């Protein structure tokens, strides 16, 4: 697929608004890693949060239907944002895009009809009024594209360009699987990190997320990564060797920042 900007669909209009609320748990880039997802959802602060925002790339992995069922069990507390993986699933399922490798064909095919409809309903972005932080915009890549990389190394000039069309001073993104919290000029740029496939310096078996309100807490949760690797192997994931390696020996943040900032648009 050629790299281009993939922003809100023409029919979406303004981002849906929620709140005010006291606490928001942010879980991004789950990639259908159910052991990690269940461990984070069992955290007391997540269970007590007013909303749980899933900031894109929920189902691109070994068990899409399981991930969807788990999120649906949260009822109205769950708010989902479309990632580039959800876009891929829709495009491949509808024939708008021909898979370029076996895994691109395999993952969408593991989505049941209900899961396809569910991920197809995700909006590009949402805004939540969080007490203590004010209006917070959530999007997977950037406010202008689901595949634009935002990292701790994103230059102020590009950050200003990508946020020129939004009013909120707090922006929460995903996509890069890097956890960070930084100020760029007058705006705050936050990434909760990845629940299912994080890039970090720590030992394997950690899921990354964030708790918003009244300030920002960057959090981690330990889980049994061996269970996730076994599930990938048992399912016959065509990318099992690469995914297992990333789970057990993650790329470093420095590597990802360098690659992402050079490419900017990463699908």
Contact call for residues 152 and 257 (beta carbons, < 8 A): yes
Question: What DSSP assignment string belongs to 216-236?
Answer: EEEEEEE--HHHHHHHHHHHT
Q: Report which of 130, 134, 151 is spatially closest to residue 79, judged by C-alpha positions.
A: 130
Q: State the greatest distance between any 2 C-alpha atoms of the chain, in Å, as a whole number.
A: 48
Q: 93-99 — which CB contacts under 8 Å span 24+ positions?
A: 97/1
**What pLDDT digit, counting tens, does each position of 143-176 carry?**
999 999 999 999 999 999 999 999 999 999 999 9
pLDDT score of 115: 98
pLDDT score of 11: 86
Beta-carbon neighbour count of residue 102 at 10 Å? 11
pLDDT score of 3: 74
Domain spanning 16-263, CATH class: alpha beta
pLDDT score of 204: 97
Q: Is 145 helix (H, G, I), strand (E, B) or coil?
A: strand
Residues of the chain with confidence (pLDDT) below 50: 1-2
186: left (phi over 0), alpha (psi -120 to 50) or beta: alpha
Axis-axis angle for helices 240-248, 225-235 (nearest 10): 180
């Amino acid at each position: 697929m050629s790299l281009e900007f993939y922003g809100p669909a023409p029919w979406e209009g303004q981002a849906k608004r929620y709140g005010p609320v006291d606490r928001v748990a942010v879980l991004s880039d789950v990639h259908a890693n159910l052991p990690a997802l269940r461990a984070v959802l069992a955290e007391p602060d997540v269970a007590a949060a007013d909303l749980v925002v899933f900031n894109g790339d929920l189902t691109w992995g070994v068990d899409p239907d399981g991930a969807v069922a788990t999120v649906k069990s949260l009822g109205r507390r769950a708010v989902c944002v479309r990632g580039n993986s959800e876009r891929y699933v829709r495009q491949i399922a509808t024939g708008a895009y021909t898979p370029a490798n076996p895994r691109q064909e395999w993952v969408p095919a593991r989505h049941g009809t209900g899961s396809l409809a569910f991920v197809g309903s995700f909006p590009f972005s949402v805004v939540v009024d969080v007490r203590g932080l004010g209006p917070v915009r959530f999007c997977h890549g950037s406010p202008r594209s689901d595949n634009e990389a935002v990292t701790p190394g994103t230059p102020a000039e590009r950050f200003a360009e990508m946020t020129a069309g939004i009013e909120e001073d707090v922006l929460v993104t995903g996509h890069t699987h890097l956890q960070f919290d930084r100020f760029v000029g007058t705006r705050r740029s936050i990434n909760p990190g990845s629940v299912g496939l994080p890039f970090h310096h720590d030992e394997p078996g950690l899921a990354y997320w964030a708790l918003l309100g009244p300030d920002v807490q960057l959090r981690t949760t330990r889980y049994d990564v061996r269970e996730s690797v076994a599930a990938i192997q048992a399912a016959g994931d065509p990318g099992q060797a690469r995914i297992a390696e990333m789970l057990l020996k993650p790329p470093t943040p420095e590597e990802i920042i360098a690659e992402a900032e050079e490419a900017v648009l990463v699908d």
